[in-house]
Amino acid sequence: MRSVFYMLDVAPYGSEKAYGLLNAAAVSIKMDVIVGLYADGVYLALAGQDSRALGVPNLSDTIYAYPEMRVIAHEPSLAKRGLFSQSLIERVELVDDERFIEEAVASDSVIVL
Amino acid sequence: MATLTIILTDGPYISECAEMAVKIAKAALVHHKVNIFLYLDAVHIPKGSQNPVHFVNIGRLFEELASNGATIRACPRCAAARGYQAADGVCQEYLPGIEITSLYDLAEMLKESDKVIALSK
């Protein structure tokens, strides 16, 4: 297996899922890794996250720390949540339905935690 | 021989994921190599002192899988967060054959796999 698509479809804070997914993606960077943000997962694309009051790591730091990971966000999910005009992490790529599916299908495996 | 890796994130009884993984792994082991990586709450699955009254003991089923050749590893960060400590991979509270190793083992399992199944509710 040479490529992995990790899909996050839940909000980044409030459960361990996003943290676990990003850690798994980070250790997989010897392969081609894409983190796909879908549904509530797109909240991870927002710039200026500050999780100090929650007492958990700032997950956007992981995105900045691993440029080897491609991060794509499903644009319709952002639009449906009224986030389209918000500032996003610079290196998150916005993709439409078709492109999101294409990226997932092109990967050797799709992992949803 | 093809390799299948199964990733689990749920605890043993909160969903049917662990039981499904056992059935898939059992069938796959006949002709294939099987890896199972226990992540997040799934690190509870191999706990030795489980005593479910109304359910099958999932831990014992995983012990059986390991004795039949499945490689079963658990994430150390997730395990430590839930009170499981290991020395050289061996955790006294775990059933035999299942080790707490490294998250990098997940990446290695994925690399060597032909198919990956992630089960999560």
ipTM: 0.94
Q: What range does the domain containing B97 cover?
A: 3-119
Determine the pLDDT at residue A4: 98
**Residue among B40, B111, B116 whose CB faces A20 most closely:** B40
**Residue among A2, A16, A111 whose CB faces B116 most closely:** A111
- Beta strand spans in A9-63 (E): 32-37
Determine the pLDDT at residue A74: 98
Across the interface, whether the CB atoms of B40 and A112 are under 8 A apart is answered no
Hey, what domains does chain A have and what are their CATH numbers?
3-112 (3.40.1260.10)
**Residue among A28, A30, A113 whose CB faces B118 most closely:** A113
Q: Is the pTM of this model over 0.90?
A: yes
Determine the pLDDT at residue B78: 98
Kindly provide the b/e burial profile for residues B102-113, where b requires at least 16 CB atoms within 10 angstroms of the residue's own CB: bbebbbbbbbeb
For residue B16, give the CATH number of its domain.
3.40.1260.10
Strand B115-119 and strand A32-37: pairing?
A: unpaired
Residues of B with CB under 8 A from a CB of A: 7, 9, 39-40, 77-78, 103-104, 106-107, 110-116, 118, 120
As for how many domains chain B has, the answer is 1
The ranges of chain A with pLDDT < 50 are: none
CA distance B46 to B59: 5
